[in-house]
Amino acid sequence: MKDNKKVELAQWASKYATENGAKEVSVSVYDSKESEVEVRKQKIEKIQESIQSGLSLKLYVNGKYSTHSTNRLDRNDLEKFIKEAILGTNYLAEDQYRSLPDRHLCYDGTEKDLKLFDSDYDSIDPRQKIDLAMQVEAETTGMDERIISVTGSYNDGSYRSYLVLSNGVEGFKESTSYSIDASASINGGDSRPSDYYYNATRFWDQLSGEGVGKYAVERALRKIGTKTIQSGKMEMLIENRSVGRVFNSLLQPMFGYNLQQKRSFLEGKIGKKIASDLLSITDNPFIESGRNSRLYDGDGLASRKMTVIENGILQTYYIDDYYGKKLDMEPTTGSPSNLIFELGDKDLSALTKDMNEGILVTGFNGGNSNSATGDFSVGVEGFYVKKGEILHPVSGMNITGNHKEIWNNLIAIGNDPLTDRSWQTPSMLFEGVDFSGL
């Protein structure tokens, strides 16, 4: 529900800034509530609540640009704050590309309920939050004598923001989030393997902690007895929750700032093949209860559904308004919303059985990726698979290669997307990956 006083404050701040020397201005007034509970050995180790309110400004003054924020929302304080901010902006260097987006590209004010906000948020008993965290840890009691510790955690948040641009754009966002997670540490003899698991939702009545603690422990126990295997070119099956680490290195070169600064191996690749025919991705900001659903982005640009990659062919870049002007390209948006992958017909278990020899990757460690060349090197952990059977956990392995090649070696996609994340990544199977170990 809108707080009309906050809306009026944003409108006033925009008008006040333009009356006092700003050519254009973007104002955001926001508030948030968050709570966190952490439990170990059935004792509360952390309990925290926070409430914040603030105002942020983007000022465009005589061809110059600056950003400012404050949590002092009294109008007398804000008058001084805004005047000083405008004065300071005048001392900056000019940047001809800094201005508000063209009005016709911006959000038009049409409201649509994306089901992101839980009206029950403020009525939840704090005891229920503590009990959820307690239950996650309690369900692992006596599960295995090798357990060193299990931590159960609960987190939630409520967020509202009011956007006013001096070009007439106004917008309102509100959302809630809840999550329950567990992290487990195990005595593995000469090692101390650990792992985690979590569930996340937009609505309280959809949140469940059942099985979260047990699954975190099971994942950690599977890591006991890790070995390093011989180096070689093998298959790599990446578990759905770890795909994002590799995919991010393909996504970064699509951003306007990397394109403009000549740090993108995907420059000039629109309409060209960059990956296997199996890879098709849609950016959909309108998914109900999606983790990053929205009607407009941080610039005020109207959200739109976009095809990012279709059958391995690159269809679009992520261009915010500023870099759109610098690149002389129409802006799309500066950041992804919900990324939806076209799925295959097999789950992780079935994909594992399809492997001849390789590693089922369940995590990445360190490493680097060069967005200009596509070269990468990163550490992996997971399980050695031969003829469809998991033989033992592996560690101390690295993968090296180039993203211009590895994505063309994608040979299967799972049917197991992570629907509680904004990047709804499924498991993915690659062939011909260079692993280095012994």
Show the tokens assigned to 375: 């070269």
79 and 120 share one domain: yes
pTM: 0.95
Phi, psi of 32 (to 5 degrees): -150, 155
Task: Tell me the CA distances in angstroms from 429 to 122, 231, 347, 405, 426, one per residue in order.
Answer: 44, 19, 11, 14, 10
The residue among 188, 222, 256 that closes a domain is 222
The answer on 213 and 97 residing in a single domain is yes
User: 202 with 66, same domain?
Assistant: yes
Q: Which of 222, 245, 277 is the last residue of a domain?
A: 222
- The answer to whether the beta carbons of residues 220 and 185 sit under 8 Å apart is yes
Q: Are residues 368 and 243 in the same domain?
A: yes
Q: Are 246 and 120 found together in one domain?
A: no
CA angle, corner 241, sides to 146 and 310, nearest 5?
Answer: 165
Q: Are residues 275 and 324 in the same domain?
A: yes
- Print the domain residue range for 257: 226-437
Let me know whether 216 and 161 are in one domain.
yes
Q: How far apart are CA 65 and CA 61, in angstroms?
A: 6
The CATH number linked to 88 is 3.30.2290.10
* Whether residue 371 sits in one domain with residue 239: yes
Judgement on whether residues 320 and 405 belong to the same structural domain of the protein:
yes
Tally of domains within the chain: 2
Residues 215, 262 within the same domain: no
Cα gap 355→386, rounded to integer Å:
7
Residues 215 and 268 in one domain: no
Nearest to 178 by CA among 32, 34, 315: 34
Is 176 found in the same domain as 48? yes
In order along its 438 residues, the chain shows pLDDT tens digits of: 788 999 999 999 999 999 999 999 999 999 999 999 999 999 999 999 999 999 999 999 999 999 999 999 999 999 999 999 999 999 999 999 999 999 999 999 999 999 999 999 999 999 999 999 999 999 999 999 999 999 999 999 999 999 999 999 999 999 999 999 999 999 998 889 999 999 999 999 999 999 999 999 999 999 999 988 999 999 999 999 999 999 999 999 999 999 999 999 999 999 999 999 999 999 999 999 999 999 999 999 999 999 999 999 999 999 999 999 999 999 999 999 999 999 999 999 999 999 999 999 999 998 899 999 999 999 999 999 999 999 999 988 999 999 999 999 999 999 999 999 999 999 999 999 999 986
Cite the DSSP H helix spans in 61-180.
Answer: 75-89, 126-138
C-alpha distances in Å from residue 62, one per residue of 67, 86, 88, 96, 324: 15, 10, 12, 10, 20
Q: How far is residue 404's CA from residue 410's CA, in Å, rounded to a whole number?
A: 12
40 to 43, 218, 307, 395: CA distances (angstroms): 5, 18, 45, 28
> 120 near 204, Cβ under 8 Å?
yes
Helices within 328-424 (DSSP H only): 348-353, 403-406
- Domain end point (choices 172, 201, 222): 222
The Cα–Cα gap between 300 and 430 comes to 39
